[in-house]
């Protein structure tokens, strides 16, 4: 099996080396990561010529391909011909930003895996929001290997991927969960500053942030695993036209028929 490993924090990320080392137990691992940190950059595609250089993983010595590109670029270029060998699975991690709830839409690490799905390759994204205290990278690595083993045992699904978020402290267990929404409320404020005795335009930024329904399960020490499906237009929905008035509906049915 050939695994493509990427992330959204760059080649110096602390969780990259232990994950690469563990995934080699399943087969060949190609590590192809961005040069810079792209956290919260969602599915940015630069569409610029990708510059690459070969380097070594810290504390490991294994090779890593460092790209001056986004995580989604890394995956799309790799799967469209940059790598000579076909890829069976894409793994993104261990990323250090949250991916539970609506963070999923902002995570460049997650959207790197969705980029793979759009090119027909399944994958898994794993994150561990790093806070205070000791970071248990090995726990995230072990749980990622558990997911990869499940792929191998149950077969590689089409248009589906796993999203795994692991608490940074002691992990009590793992819970399966559906993706949910976490709503943030921000308040904008502006401030005026002087520059060379001249008034410059005010700075505007978000000064406070609160949210509904914190991720209680993560706070209690449980890892969250979610199976997500990339199928924006469900085929079965095409059989049920939206009621837009009798005449427009009949015209739709005639054209569709």
Q: What is the pLDDT of residues 151-194, one digit of tens each?
A: 899 888 777 888 898 887 778 888 877 765 666 566 666 666 66
Asked whether 190 and 202 are in contact (CB, 8 A), the reply is yes
Residue carrying structure tokens 């810079």: 36
| 137-154 and 16-23 helices, crossing angle to 10° | 30
Residue 250: helix, strand or coil by DSSP? Answer: helix
CB atoms within 10 A of CB 170: 10
pLDDT in tens, 183-222: 656 666 666 666 666 656 666 665 555 554 445 667 678 8
Identify the CA nearest to 164 among candidates 141, 183, 185, 187.
Answer: 141
The reply to whether the predicted model has a pTM over 0.75 is yes
Q: Which residues pair with 229 in a beta bridge?
A: 160
Domain 2-179+215-243+245-256 has CATH 3.40.720.10: no
Terminal-residue alpha carbon distance, the chain:
44
**Cα 14–20–21 angle (5° rounding)?**
100
């Amino acid at each position: 099996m050939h695994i493509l490993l990427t992330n959204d924090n760059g080649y110096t990320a602390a969780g990259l080396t232990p994950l690469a080392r563990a995934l080699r137990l399943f087969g060949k691992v190609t590590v192809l990561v961005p040069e810079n940190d792209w956290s919260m950059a969602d599915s940015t595609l630069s569409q610029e010529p990708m510059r690459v250089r070969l380097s070594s993983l810290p504390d490991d010595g294994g090779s890593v391909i460092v790209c001056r590109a986004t995580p989604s670029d890394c995956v799309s270029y790799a799967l469209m011909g940059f790598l000579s060998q076909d890829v069976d699975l894409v793994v993104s991690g261990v990323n250090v930003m949250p991916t539970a709830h609506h963070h999923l839409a902002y995570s460049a690490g997650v959207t790197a895996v969705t980029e793979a799905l759009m090119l027909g390759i399944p994958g898994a994204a794993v994150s561990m929001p790093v806070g205070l205290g000791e970071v248990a990278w090995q726990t995230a690595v072990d749980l990622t290997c558990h997911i990869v083993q499940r792929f191998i045992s149950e077969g590689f699904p089409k248009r589906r991927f796993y999203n795994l978020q692991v608490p940074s402290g002691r992990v009590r267990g793992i819970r399966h969960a559906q993706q949910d929404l976490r709503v943030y409320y921000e308040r904008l404020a502006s401030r005026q500053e002087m520059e060379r005795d001249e008034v410059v335009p005010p700075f505007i930024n978000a000064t406070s942030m609160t949210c509904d329904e914190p991720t209680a399960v993560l706070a209690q020490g449980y890892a969250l695993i979610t199976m997500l499906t990339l199928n924006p237009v469900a085929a079965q929905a095409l059989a049920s036209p939206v009621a837009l008035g009798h005449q427009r509906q009949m015209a739709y049915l005639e054209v569709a028929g």
